[in-house]
Amino acid sequence: MQHDARSFYHSRDTHSGRGRLLLATGIVLLLVVTDIVSHGIVRSSVRAGVSTVTSALREIGAHIAQNGYFASHAALAHENQSLQAEVAALQERAALATALQAQVDALSNIDHLVTSDPGITAPVVSSSLASPYGTFLIGAGTVDGITVGSTVLSTQGTVVGTVSDAGGHTSTVLEIFAPGRAINALLDGVALSVKGKGGGNASALVPHGLSIAVGDAVISPTLGERPIGIVGHVDNDPSSAAIQVYIGSIVNLDALRYVFVVPPIRSDSSAPKK
């Protein structure tokens, strides 16, 4: 009985569905025939109705957008964009002011060098990080009076390198502790040869018996008796023939913004005879 009941309901649903389909098909055919007989009046009426409904929906949407929550949300979004633009402009001005202040501070430190030594202030245009050979580029060259061998100083007067190549408007500076570079120096009044290791580091061998401590200054007699670094570590092994001294640069080369370039110091043998 249950199977027969299900079959009955299934058959009834099928006939009902077919009936609705036939009814819809008849209505469509009737509309098509009516439209043909009326020469398109039905289609025109439908299009006009759709256009009217669409225009009304657009007006309603615009009215909703201009009022209530939607209007407030749009106003807040516009105000937020304006505030973000103002904040970005203020941040840019602050960054510019900071950069200008840093330039002023760096240049003011060079004043004492200008009054004591003839030379040229030059900006650093390429840091040592850009070169694996212990060099960096400055924005001054032969047209500014710079020559190969010129001594390059920090804003405080510490030797950071010498000019190894001079172009018209830029020059290459070889760092004082460039890898493999040897510099004659004095430590506690004793002459020694400092060997550059790169990265602002160097080392030297000195005889036993010297009173050397971390922080002692290392100067170069061939570069105007100016400091080139300080003692960072002393390896005083009694079994070794000499004391190994590790020297570090006083200046953070990566933070250099300006340098002061002075003419190379000529030895007595190279000085003109009178």
Q: Is 84 helix (H, G, I), strand (E, B) or coil?
A: helix
Q: Is pLDDT above 90 for 176?
A: yes
pTM of the model: 0.57
For the cut 70, the answer to whether the pLDDT of residue 9 exceeds it is no
Q: What is the pLDDT of residue 210?
A: 82
SS3 of 51, please? helix
More confident position, 5 or 199: 199
Amino acid identity at 63: H
Alpha-carbon distance of 88 to 95, in angstroms, equals: 11
What gap in Å lies between CA 122 and CA 138, rounded to an integer? 6
37 or 188, higher pLDDT: 188
- Given the candidates 2.60.40.10, 3.40.720.10, 1.10.540.10, 2.40.10.340, the CATH classification of the domain at 120-265 is 2.40.10.340
Which among 226, 256, 232, 259 is positioned nearest to 146, based on CA atoms?
A: 259
Return d(Cα 77, Cα 191) in angstroms, integer: 72
Q: Where are the domains of the chain?
A: 2-65, 120-265
Q: Please name the residues in contact with 252: beta carbons below 8 A apart, sequence gap of 6 or more.
A: 200
Q: Coil, helix or strand for 183?
A: strand
pLDDT-above-70 percentage for the chain: 58
**The dihedral formed by the CA atoms of 181, 182, 188 and 191, expressed in degrees to the nearest 10:** -170
What is the per-residue pLDDT across 86-95, written as a single tens digit (0 to 9) for each?
Answer: 776 666 566 5
Residue type at 261 in one-letter notation: V
For 7, the 3-state DSSP assignment is helix
89-135 tens-digit pLDDT: 666 566 556 555 555 555 555 555 555 667 888 999 987 666 768 99
Task: Note the pLDDT tens digit of each residue in 188-209.
Answer: 888 999 999 998 999 999 888 8
Query: What are the pLDDT digits (tens) for 47-89?
Result: 555 566 566 656 666 665 555 555 577 777 777 877 777 776 6
Integer Rg of the chain from CA: 43
SS3 131: coil
CB 120 within 8 A of CB 140: yes
User: Mean pLDDT across the chain, nearest whole number?
Assistant: 75
Of 39-53, 154-168, 224-238, where does mean pLDDT reach its minimum?
39-53
On whether the CB atoms of residues 135 and 129 are closer than 8 A, the answer is: no
Which helix (H) or strand (E) segment holds residue 5: the answer is: helix 2-37
